[in-house]
Chain A
Amino acid sequence: GNSVTQMEGPVTLSEEAFLTINCTYTATGYPSLFWYVQYPGEGLQLLLKATKADDKGSNKGFEATYRKETTSFHLEKGSVQVSDSAVYFCALRENRDDKIIFGKGTRLHILP
């Protein structure tokens, strides 16, 4: 079945460091891919998405590129801030199946 695998956390970085959170997926078709973020005490929010191969989703300085050849959708940010501390979820949705399948989440701590 469809699944999402993302790097286990927690990930701890210093402010202004470069961030990569790896995400790979398994799907039978051509899914849409998402990154969701959950800030402390808040609900999940859509961070960015990509709907086809080679698309790049971006928001708030974060980027992720849909790589069909490696079935990956790694999240990157060039310079993280303390306010980026949160749990990040990689997710996919098959075109024929409306429910979104989430990874287990990666907790990110940014130290000042």
Chain B
Amino acid sequence: GAGVSQSPSNKVTEKGKDVELRCDPISGHTALYWYRQSLGQGLEFLIYFQGNSAPDKSGLPSDRFSAERTGGSVSTLTIQRTQQEDSAVYLCASSRDNNYGYTFGSGTRLTVV
């Protein structure tokens, strides 16, 4: 597609429920990144996929968080047993290769009540 597409744009969920956030990167971009933007915390790296390599999961805050990327394209970020501190904007970005900057999606605003 023309840009990075994320869905849903907004998600309100009850504490303890699981949520899935979707990212559709730009066609042909081999690298895909998930970040979390919390008020006053800036952008926090979560996970990074590059081609067929094992993902860099070093930023995932707990084992309740997981992500997969199917067929080298669409990615899903799953948060299990959501907590109120998970409330944030979750941003996805993709990149063509190491020498280019990222293109960000508009994000999913997650609110856990």
Smallest CB separation, B112 vs chain A (Å): 22
Residues of B within 8 A of A66 (CB): none
Interface residues of A, CB < 8 Å — how many? 16
- Across the interface, B42 reaches (CB within 8 A) one of A89, A98, A99, namely A89
Chief secondary structure at chain B's binding surface: strand
Residues of A within 8 A of B31 (CB): 98
Rounded to whole angstroms, the CA-CA distance of A43 and B107 in the bound complex is: 7
- Across the interface, A49 reaches (CB within 8 A) one of B40, B42, B48, B101, namely B101
**Which B46-94 residues have a C-beta within 8 angstroms of A?**
48, 50, 56, 59, 91, 93
Chain A 17-51 per-residue mask, 1 if CB under 8 angstroms from chain B, else 0? 00000000000000000100000001111100100
**Which B88-112 residues have a C-beta within 8 angstroms of A?**
91, 93, 95, 98, 101-102, 104-107
24 residue pairs of the A-B complex, CB under 8 angstroms, read: A42-B106, A43-B105, A43-B107, A44-B91, A44-B93, A44-B102, A46-B101, A49-B101, A89-B42, A89-B43, A98-B50, A98-B56, A99-B48, A99-B56, A99-B59, A100-B101, A101-B45, A102-B35, A102-B43, A102-B45, A104-B40, A104-B41, A104-B42, A105-B42
Residues of B within 8 A of A42 (CB): 106
Residues of A within 8 A of B102 (CB): 44, 46, 100
